[in-house]
Amino acid sequence: MSMKPAIPHCIESFILASLHPRLGWLRWTEGNDLRVSIRLEQLKKAGYLDGINYVIDAGANEGAFAKVVSAVLPEVPVYCFEPIPATYARLQKTASRLKTVQPVNLALGSTSTTLPMYTCPHDESNSLLASTRAFIDSWPEVNPNGQVNVGVTRLDDFIAREKLQGRFFLKADVQGYELELLKGGGEALKDCVLLQLECSIVKMYENSPMVPELWEFVGSLGFQFLMLFDVLNSPRTRQPVSCDIFFYKPNQFENR
């Protein structure tokens, strides 16, 4: 669902693998995402993953991100949230090969409840929010073709129930539901020192927040901007529609 790259993907992968042979080997043997692997390795070398006690992977899908984390932080537990039963079954297969990955058959939101989730042929775009016309026009495969009731829990409730303690890294790729997820973690996010959010530049889901609203909210929690990457462009208009942004808490790293 991304804009055609400036150079063919296979050539880009070959160049990156040549520069990072260990990560290239994991790409070849385990199917790990090479670009994500390089990004997390760079964050680790810069010290942003120091002292991380666990990782929350919200919107885990089949576990691609968890595979990379388990390679970069092999002793750190990764809690993977995936609410759709069929996708969750595939996540369980991934987790069965990774000792630190723990799948959770729930979504994260601002309340603990049950909600209908819109499903589509491209399961990475399943969402608790309806797709906008602009999103569907650019990617017809995200047009919802059904709904599934899924369990939703607050991040605060999950962390309290599991008695998790210490600093953590939160990755949230929940198709427009990022703000609701953050609202459900008011206490937990005090211990979150690194935050990766998928942010909308144009409205892709009904009632979803845009970059300024998310930025302001995480800023009120003490996070500051770290870096932006993976800008997604519409294949129809070539307009940027979303990106991933890292935020961190500078005071937490200064006081290590």
What confidence tens digit (pLDDT) does each residue in 28-81 have? 556 667 788 888 988 999 999 999 999 999 999 999 999 999 999 999 999 999
Q: What is the DSSP letter of 64?
A: H
Give the per-residue pLDDT at 36: 82
pLDDT beneath 50: ranges in the chain: 1-8, 14, 17, 25
Do the beta carbons of residue 49 and residue 40 sit within 8 Å?
Answer: yes
Give the per-residue pLDDT at 51: 94
Give residue limits of the domains in the chain. 33-254
Give the per-residue pLDDT at 34: 75
pTM: 0.89
Give the per-residue pLDDT at 4: 44
**CATH of the domain spanning 33-254:** 3.40.50.150
Count of C-beta atoms within a 10 Å radius of residue 222: 16
Give the per-residue pLDDT at 242: 92
CA distance 86 to 123: 10
